[in-house]
Amino acid sequence: MTETHSPATDPVQLARGMTGVAHRAQRLVAEWLKRQAEAGAPGALNLDPLNIGGAFMEMASRLAASPDKLIKAQLGFWQDYMTLWQHSTRRMMGLESEAPIPLDPRDKRFQDSQWNDNEIFDFIRQSYLLSARFVHDVVRQVDGLPPKTAQKLDFYARQFVDAMSPSNFAMTNPQVLRKTVETGGDNLIRGLNNLLRDLEAGQGKLHIKMTDSESFTVGDNIAVTPGAVVFRNELMELIQYNPTTPEVLQRPLVIFPPWINKFYILDLKPKNSFIRWAVSQGHTVFVASWVNPDERLADKDFADYMKQGVFAALDAIERATGERQVNAIGYCLGGTLLASTLGYMAKMGDHRIESATFLVTLTDFANAGELGVFIDEEQLRGLEEKMAQRGYLEGSEMATTFNMLRANDLIWSFVVNNYLLGNEPFPFDLLYWNSDSTRMPAAMHSFYLRNMYQDNKLAQPNGLALDGVKIDLGAVTVPAYFLSCREDHIAPWMSTYRGAKMLGGKNRFVLAASGHIAGVVNPPEGGKYNHFVHDGLPATAEQWFEQATEVAGSWWPDWQRWVTAKARKKVPARVPGDGALSVLAHAPGTYVKVRSV
């Protein structure tokens, strides 16, 4: 009888696989050493660009000065550990026992049944969670730390704790152990090859492949709503979409997405495309598709995005439709730009924007959430030095920052899937968009971080100046619709609520479930995620939520009722190219197809 081997236990196959891995790894190390030599002497490198070391040193000195809380936390930790030992002993003896830390069904790391059914893995899981709780308790109970330092400590302590999860290691993950036995270790060989592939793609830095990028093509199976580019300058292509109704609302709708990412988050697939849905509701929809900048646009600042973005779009829309007044939507950073522009227009007596919608938009950055961890003088100087060398912030660096806000979902889950289980990532349109990052011009990004995040000038009357004009958001009387999301880590909803109170017009605030993306991209047909509404704006966000009414499903119909109530008149449908502007390219245009990586 002939003996058979699985691919990983076949000696010849195993030898070939390991030889290939060794050659690729050797080449990566050689290339990394070469880049370090070209960068200069090791002593010149900043080994702590995020200034984490200083924050932890300050925490250590505070603990040393007042050790009683540390001692108390340690005693509590050992008491918890003794309870865990007793629990595990009882389970091994076949006795019933209540777990000190019950299994949380929301924690995706421990969804495999063995984390609960097997006494050993149950002990490993609870031991880790007890240790994690101890670390967080120590960090959060240090007295006398500046708020920014305390926030930084808490954030990076969580990064460390998340990284140390037993689910992230082959020998303590039951799912990985089971897969290793089933495949004879083939999953680990495939995972190692996946790891080397991602290191090669990132030129020595880990660029985790989150989705099957070959399954998607912009303009082919995502960003497919029919339309045309009718205007282009060095910062923006303006797309006008084909109508699907015989008549349309007289007042056009223009959308300004963030230029941190590509615009097609609002046009992923036909079933979840806000753009396609807005067209079907009778809007003449225009969208700014921002350029993916390189070093040639290094000196473009925030005011340039106002002039060559918002104002250029308004001029082009008037030429294309004959309409001077528009409804405008700004998403995230695009919303911050829209609010700033409205402040400028209020000072200049420009009334072309008749209504404004702000999707998960910060205008008051006093409490900007965990992104504030990355904004201090040391980090800003380091970032500006890096941007000065090449003229822009690389898109992958910004993407890494956002991924760290949800590390378990956007980093470690892929480490387990790709490198330990040896799987290929699943094709997912949202993750493809997430990996299609864009660069940021050096001057613009520095202005944005310093004036908004660091100094919060937009929230101060006449605190921010654009193109020499000081801005007061209180002077903006345009009716505004604010959409925020309860689980938003990027634009915390209680902070965005302060923005709704800041503008001087009659404003509506709506709170959707879920996060920064899923709460916004929530079509009515999907039947997902509720939202909360309130006709007033009480003094605080807490009061608003207490008085708000919960409504099932998407917020999109609520917005449609709000915006159409401002102007219901209709005109014959407008086709791109029929006005004074000719068609330059089919949607989604050319700028959106320029990839950073």
Cα distances (angstroms) measured from residue 349 to each of 197, 338, 339, 344, 513: 55, 16, 15, 9, 37
Which residue in the block uniquely carries the two structure tokens 């926030």? 151
Q: Are residues 309 and 447 in the same domain?
A: yes
Q: Are residues 138 and 231 in the same domain?
A: no
What is the structure's pLDDT at 52? 63
Give the percent of the chain with pLDDT over 90: 59
Q: Are residues 148 and 288 in the same domain?
A: no
Strand ranges for 334-423 from DSSP E: 353-359, 392-393
Q: Are residues 503 and 587 in the same domain?
A: yes
Catalytic residue among 332, 342, 415, 520: 332
Is the pLDDT at 24 greater than 70? The verdict is no
For the CA atoms of 80, 86, 90, 93, the dihedral, rounded to the nearest 10 degrees, stands at: 140
What is the structure's pLDDT at 45? 41
Exposure string for 198-213, b = 16+ CB within 10 A, e = fewer: bbeeeeeeebbbbbeb
Is the pLDDT at 33 greater than 70? The verdict is no
> Which tens digits make up the pLDDT trace of 382-424?
889 889 999 999 887 888 888 888 888 888 999 999 999 999 9
Q: Are residues 362 and 279 in the same domain?
A: yes
Q: Are residues 162 and 231 in the same domain?
A: no
Do residues 544 and 538 touch, judged by C-beta distance below 8 A?
yes
Is residue 213 in some structural domain?
no
What is the structure's pLDDT at 2? 41
Q: Are residues 583 and 453 in the same domain?
A: yes
Q: Are residues 429 and 503 in the same domain?
A: yes
What is the structure's pLDDT at 597? 60
Is residue 551 in some structural domain?
yes
Q: Are residues 324 and 251 in the same domain?
A: yes
What is the structure's pLDDT at 596? 78
CA 526, CA 166: separation in Å to the nearest integer? 35
What is the structure's pLDDT at 121? 92
What is the structure's pLDDT at 76? 84
What is the structure's pLDDT at 43? 39
Q: What DSSP designation does 417 have?
A: I
Is residue 334 in some structural domain?
yes
Q: Are residues 302 and 439 in the same domain?
A: yes
Question: Domain range for residue 455?
Answer: 227-375+393-593
The per-residue DSSP string of 137-192 comes to HHHHT-TT--HHHHHHHHHHHHHHHHHT-GGGSGGG-HHHHHHHHHHTTHHHHHHH
Is the pLDDT at 165 greater than 80? The verdict is yes
Average pLDDT rounded to a whole number, residues 61-89: 80
Average pLDDT rounded to a whole number, residues 274-295: 97
Average pLDDT rounded to a whole number, residues 179-201: 85
What is the structure's pLDDT at 4? 41
Confidence class for position 189, pLDDT limits 50, 70, 90: confident
The residue from 146, 168, 190 where one domain ends is: 168
Q: Give yes or no: 332 in active site.
A: yes
Confidence class for position 16, pLDDT limits 50, 70, 90: low
Least confident of 31-40, 385-394, 498-507, 583-592: 31-40
Average pLDDT rounded to a whole number, residues 161-172: 91
What is the structure's pLDDT at 6? 43
What is the structure's pLDDT at 91? 87
What is the structure's pLDDT at 35? 53
What is the structure's pLDDT at 26? 55
The residue from 128, 143, 168 where one domain ends is: 168
The residue from 153, 168, 183 where one domain ends is: 168
Average pLDDT rounded to a whole number, residues 125-138: 89
Q: Are residues 489 and 421 in the same domain?
A: yes
What is the structure's pLDDT at 3? 42
CA 36, CA 44: separation in Å to the nearest integer? 11
What CATH number should be reported for the domain holding residue 434?
Answer: 3.40.50.1820
Is residue 36 in some structural domain?
no
Is residue 464 in some structural domain?
yes
What is the structure's pLDDT at 51? 59
What is the structure's pLDDT at 74? 82
Higher confidence at residue 39 or residue 383? 383
What is the structure's pLDDT at 124? 92
pTM, entire model: 0.87
Least confident of 41-45, 284-288, 574-578: 41-45
Higher confidence at residue 78 or residue 450? 450
Give the percent of the chain with pLDDT over 70: 89
> Which tens digits make up the pLDDT trace of 329-367?
999 999 999 999 999 999 999 999 999 999 999 999 998
Q: How would you class 254 by CB atoms within 10 Å of its CB: exposed for 0-12, middle for 13-18, buried for 19 or more?
A: buried
Least confident of 36-50, 416-430, 456-470: 36-50
Domain count, the chain: 2
> Which tens digits make up the pLDDT trace of 488-523?
999 999 999 999 999 999 999 999 999 999 999 999
Higher confidence at residue 159 or residue 65? 159
What is the structure's pLDDT at 406? 83
Is residue 382 in some structural domain?
no
CA 272, CA 437: separation in Å to the nearest integer? 20
Q: Are residues 253 and 397 in the same domain?
A: yes
Average pLDDT rounded to a whole number, residues 264-288: 97
Confidence class for position 183, pLDDT limits 50, 70, 90: confident
Confidence class for position 255, pLDDT limits 50, 70, 90: very high
Structure-block tokens of residue 331: 């998403």
What is the structure's pLDDT at 5? 43
User: What's the chain's average pLDDT?
Assistant: 88
Confidence class for position 7, pLDDT limits 50, 70, 90: very low
Is residue 495 in some structural domain?
yes
Structure-block tokens of residue 113: 């049944």
Is residue 208 in some structural domain?
no
